[in-house]
Structure 1
Amino acid sequence: MTPPGASEATRLLCAGTYMDESYRDAVIDELYVHEERFAAPSLGIDAARVLAHALRARRLQLGWAAAILLVWIVAVPLSSGLAVLYLYPIAVMALARFMSGLTFLPPWLSVIGPFVLRWYGRISLLVFLVVLLVAAFGGGDGLAGFGRSLLPDLLSPDSGPDYSTYSAMDATSAYDASAGSGFADALAVWSTLLLLPAVAVLVALQRGQFARALADELSRERFPDVMSDPAERAEGLRFRRLRDRVRTEQHGPLMMYRAANPFCGAGVPYRTWSLSVELSPRPDRTTEPLDNAAFLERIVPLVAALRVPSPHGSPERAAAVRDRLRALEIDECVFLPAEGLPSRAAAPYAPAEFEEHRAEAVEEGGETRRHFLRIRVGGWNEGVVTTVFVRVHTQGGMLMLEVAPHVLWPLRQLFQDADRIAHQYRHHHRFGRAVWALAATPRSAGQALLTLLRGLLSLWRLGTGGYGAALPEGPAVSVRELGSYNESSLFQDMDVARYLKTIQQRVAAGVTTALREAGYRTEEFEQRVVHVAEGGTYIESAQGAIGIGDHNTITHNATTPRGAASKGSKKSGNG
């Protein structure tokens, strides 16, 4: 079985930190800045390795952003301020991108407005470059008033010396001054003209570094070797300390949660249901004591048997079965609230401490400390993770069964296309790469400035937030959930449905077996679980009219007593 740190989902999430700035900043904010927060469970991935690449990607991008802004800063005095004129068409094109993202505009304006602004900015930039080219190759004196308005100080004939009444020595001095002024004018024009190609080279090199990273340390061949990953070898005591803590918390059976989102990290709830039935003794035998652990002892072997392929006639054919149920994982986990702990290091992650909590929580049926049987299936290279949380409790002659399935849906399409994008860039011809770099150059200055501002803001929050001394909190977001987009294909939907139905069937069979062996009746439980597990509602008795099927109209004239109205329907069944 592939370890979480070498899974395909981890590799794509690491690649996503180089491609999506918002995702990278969210990962750093959750796992690096807010060090008081516990790490969310990382099902099928290694969040610490994603954090390592997020920090590395930010360092690299900050370096490239500083280099791009340095080129602009150097070009402004060299060009005598002429390079500032680039900002006008760049601002117009930026306004077009901003306008296209406004949702409150009329549809016609949100299409025509950005189109006009975009081409106006492009034409303005092209005209400015043409004027620069003419001035660079000595055509400045022949330009019309439009050219002189753009380059007033460099192309005006009045800027030259006056030769009317001077001696020979004065003429020589005037010639030297004219030559110096001509050199300064040429330097200004050529500095302005070469600014865009220089920035385009930096943009191309930055893109090339990302493509090389996908072909090197983030490739499918090298990624499983964690020790050779340059992101893992990053210096910094804070990073190493938080990396070790994340790896302790993310895969452990202890879940430190916040009350608002206890299942953070498990994904989207998927047809959660619960069932309660009366424990009715059978008249033909004496009942035996039946606690919560007894139910788990019957459920676990039945679920674990799903790993074994059905008979195929030969061991070779059975071994060739690649069903993801063969890698099904089963463990017991305990949910504890993060509130009340003095520090993050005080959480009981030690094996002896956890075992004490597990033994107490399995029978107590508490509100804040809860025990669950966790059953996990990682399909599609951990791209679709199905997790079923099962809780059984008996109280006052009643049996309560809670089943909370959760699904982590596939990663963002941009992350899944990382290899394709990098391969296309590496194998693209030079002319295509040059065109791409030139097209991305106008917005590179604004992006570089925003990158540096975000980096400074993160450092400011890190230095002034006081998170290291704050009381511990449960996880706010999950690295894996941040990288999902909650869309799936029909094949993936079919797999999730198959996993859930199979696991829920075995869970129900385990509970039925435990009831039967302890001398209790099972008819009511078997009847109800069929309805509730499928997302329906079991109705023991009904009064009035009941509609079955589509396009029914039911009229009921009775007055509903005050306070008897329901709060609304759910997708989950209720016993």
Structure 2
Amino acid sequence: MTDRTSVGAHRHSLATKHLCAAAYLDRGFRDRVLDEVYHHPELAVAPNPGADAEPVLGHMLHARQLDVMQQSLLAALLLLALIIPEIDKRVFIIGLVVWLGLGLVLVALETTLNATPAQRRNRVASLLTGRNALTLIIFGVAVTAAIAYVSSLSNYDWLQSEDGTIFAVFWLLLLSGCAIGFGAARARRLAVIAAGTEPDSTGRVKSIGSAQRSTVVTYAASRLPFVGSGQNITTWQFALVVRSREEGGPDPEIDPVDLNRHIKDRVATLGEASKGSERLPGLDLSDRVYVSGRDVDAPVLRPSQLRDSGYAFNDIAGVQRDPTTPVRHYLRCELVSWDGELVTTIYCHFALQGECLYVEFSSYLLPPTPDRYHVFKRDGGLRDHALFWEGARSSAMMPVDLVRSPFDTIASALRGIRNSIRNGFGGDQSELEDCGALVGVRELGIGSDRQNYFQSRDSVKYTGILERQILAGLTEYLREHGVDTAELEERVMAIVNHGVINYGDMAAGAVGQGANVTAGSIGGGSQGTVKGGRR
């Protein structure tokens, strides 16, 4: 069952637009999304809180086609430059060296002017790692050999070969035209994103767009159940003995479905502003069912489909009332703020088992997308300077792209063959050990730089607010049903005051007449001795 309340809710958020832009700005990110999500039809699809994967994947397919065309054209031009005898190879190589030198200066200037110190370090580090580092090393060796060869010549008669020089200059101009042309094509695609126009969706893209909002989340057993939700902020749980508030009274009867509905209705009111309080932004509540890809025969979208894997469930209520199977229900509270750039997701699980009420609470954070993807203004228009620098960087590094083009062309061909084989056998899931989702598109697009102090604090704030409201709703419900809440109130105080728990070094003492202290250290690397005293 698809959650209709959230369909298209984040279609035009800034987070979605930034991820669409990343298709043309970040080849590594685009390849990861396509290889790990799009070209795995045999696996389930992860949720994408605060963003919509459908337009993102559409732009990524367009961007990869554009890259394949550029790589193939550059590889052909490089091959022709090497085999056409009229082209003076020495002039051609020297021209590329000068081009790269000027390009590196331009990139360094852009990094200095338009980045924070942390972003500069990250960008420099990215040039020195992975495929970029290997490319620069190969190119550096080739340039060094060329310079050594030219320097060894006793005369410069080769410069007098006007025809060869003219051909070499023409080829360099042809390459510059290629760089400008493909840069303009990418700029046009970015303008399309700004205008809100979406590419045509393929059948696979549409199925991902629908599956990302499914009621049942089939997660990979190697991952936590809340795949796609980002980084864990906090998790706590406790089991409460359900006993009557009246001594000798009958044991209260608690319905987990009714309890979940009570908590959900209470939290839902926080999405609207009251007389003395502002609303919680982008609050969306829904019931979600989670099952490992190892415990079902195929990805599951609706609770009724669980019967195909041997589970006696027809609806969510059945899952809520039976916590003994690998299928688990969670109340999902999603808060989307900063126009999709910050997503805080709370998961609550209630289970009645062993004459106890088990309560579990987890909070997750999806940080903002990388700053490099932010080529749009708050109103959705393009930032002219960001577009200019992106085009300049692309043109400046054309010599590197030229050297990489034969390898990239071969890699693209092999990737295409692999994906065709994978897609061809994607419909047969009977032999899969785990058909669960591994990662979400939005989750892959997490930035490493903090863009605003209050973004990280907002997630902590929303976690604290919902934590308190859920515990208050739980206490209220149990009281109404005659449950003794004394133990619960003690646990609530421990949870609310959990900040006093120390996970490192701590010094504490008793102050005042008759005061007591109990202190200790918890966690790896902690130091301390539990002591008590009275004055």
TM interval, short-chain normalised: 0.7 to 0.9
The yes-or-no answer on 1:6 pairing with 2:12 is: yes
Is 1:232 the counterpart of 2:200 in the alignment? yes
Residue in 1 that maps onto 2:120: none
For 1:353 and 1:482, locate their aligned partners in 2 and report how far apart those are by CA, in whole Å. 29
Judging changes above 3 Å, is the alpha-carbon distance between structure 1 residues 453 and 39 closer, same or farther for their aligned structure 2 residues?
A: same
- Cα distance between partner residues in 2 of 1:403 and 1:207: 48
Contact 1:391 1:402 in 2 (8 A): yes
Match status 1:379 vs 2:379: no
Percent identity between matched residues is 22
Deviation at 1:73, TM superposition (A): 2.9
Separation in structure 1 between the aligned mates of residue 524 and residue 370 of structure 2, nearest angstrom: 32
Amino acid at match of 2:438: A
Query: Is there any run of 5+ residues in structure 2 with no aligned partner, and where?
Result: 1-5, 105-123, 308-312, 510-520, 527-535
The C-alpha deviation readout for 1:21-56, integer Å capped at 9, x for no partner, is 111111111233221111111112121221111110
Query: What is the TM-score with the length of structure 1 in the denominator?
Result: 0.71
Contact 1:37 1:474 in 2 (8 A): yes
The answer for the alignment partner of 1:66 in structure 2 is 72
1:118-129, aligned counterparts within 5 Å? 121=143
1:405 has 2:381 as partner: no
Contact 2:303 2:316 in 1 (8 A): no
User: Number of aligned pairs?
Assistant: 466
The aligned amino acid for 1:358 is: I
* 1:6-32 alpha-carbon deviations (Å, 9 max, x no partner): 222111101101111111111111233
**Once the 2 structures are TM-superposed, how far is the Cα of residue 198 of structure 1 from its aligned partner?**
1.4
Matched residues in 1 for 2:230 and 2:351: separation? Answer: 24
Whether the 8 Å CA contact 2:319–2:327 is kept in 1: the answer is yes
Aligned counterpart, 2:529: none
Contact 2:331 2:347 in 1 (8 A): yes
**1:79–1:187: 8 Å Cα contact kept in structure 2?**
no
Equivalent-residue separation in structure 2 for 1:330 and 1:384 (angstroms): 17
1:275: how far off? 1.6
Amino acid at match of 1:251: R
Rg larger in 1 or in 2?
1
Map of 1:109-508 to 2, 5 A cutoff?
Answer: 121=143, 145-148=154-157, 151=158, 186-215=162-191, 217-219=192-194, 222-223=195-196, 228-229=197-198, 231-232=199-200, 240-261=202-223, 262-283=225-246, 286-311=250-275, 323=279, 325-339=280-294, 341-344=296-299, 347-349=300-302, 356-417=314-375, 423-424=384-385, 439-465=396-422, 467-468=425-426, 469-470=428-429, 471=432, 473-488=435-450, 489-508=452-471
The range that moved more, 186-195 or 356-365, is: 186-195
Moved more, 383-392 or 453-462: 453-462
Query: Is the CA contact (8 Å cut-off) linking 2:244 and 2:252 kept in structure 1?
Result: no
Secondary structure of residue in 1 paired with 2:318: helix
Q: Distance in 2 between matches of 1:532 and 1:259?
A: 29
Question: Aligned partners of 2:361 and 2:200: how far apart in 1?
Answer: 38
Change (3 A) 1:462 1:551: same
Is 2:370–2:446's contact at 8 Å kept on the other side of the alignment? yes
Answer yes or no: is the 8 Å Cα contact 1:208–1:426 preserved in 2.
no
Q: CA RMSD in A?
A: 4.2
- 1:32 pairs, out of 28, 38, 45, with 38
Corresponding residue number in structure 2 for 1:159: none
Q: Following TM superposition, by how much is the alpha carbon of 1:334 offset from its aligned partner in structure 2, in angstroms?
A: 0.5
Contact 1:31 1:39 (C-alpha < 8 Å) held by counterparts: yes
Checking the alignment, whether the CA contact within 8 Å between 1:17 and 1:23 is kept in structure 2 is yes
Unaligned 5+ segments in structure 1 are: 104-109, 132-143, 156-184, 234-239, 313-317, 539-545, 554-564, 571-575
How far, CA to CA, are the matches of 2:200 and 2:414 in structure 1? 24
For the pair 1:523 / 2:499, whether they are aligned, the reply is no
CA contact (8 A) 2:47 2:212 kept: yes
Report deviation, 1:526: 1.4
Residue 449 of structure 1 aligns with an amino acid whose one-letter code is: P
- Match of 1:218, as an amino acid? I
- Residue type of the partner of 1:4? H
Residue type of the alignment partner of 2:359:
L
Letter in 2 for 1:24: R
Residue 402 of structure 1 deviates from its aligned partner by 0.1
Distance 1:411 1:68 in 2: 31
Instruction: Say which SS state the counterpart of residue 206 (structure 1) adopts.
Output: helix
Relative to 1, partners in 2 of residues 1:269 and 1:426: Cα closer, same or farther, differing over 3 Å? Answer: closer
Change (3 A) 1:552 1:533: closer
Q: Give the residue type in structure 2 aligned to 1:440.
A: M
Taking structure 1 as reference, are residues 339 and 353 closer, same or farther at Cα in structure 2, changes over 3 Å only?
A: closer
The normalised TM-score by structure 2 is 0.75
- In 2, Cα distance between equivalents of 1:287 and 1:382: 46
The answer (yes or no) to whether the contact 2:221–2:294 under 8 Å persists in 1 is: no
**Contact 2:233/2:363 (8 A) holds in 1:** yes
Whole-Å Cα distance in 2 between the matches of residues 268 and 99 of structure 1?
Answer: 23
Change (3 A) 1:280 1:256: same
Distance 2:265 2:301 in 1: 28
Post-superposition CA distance 1:441-466 (Å, at most 9, x none)? 32130243343233112112123446
Deviation at 1:87, TM superposition (A): 5.2
Name the SS of the counterpart of 1:331 in structure 2.
strand
> Do 1:24 and 1:54's aligned partners in 2 also have CA atoms closer than 8 Å?
yes
Q: CA deviation at 1:473?
A: 1.3
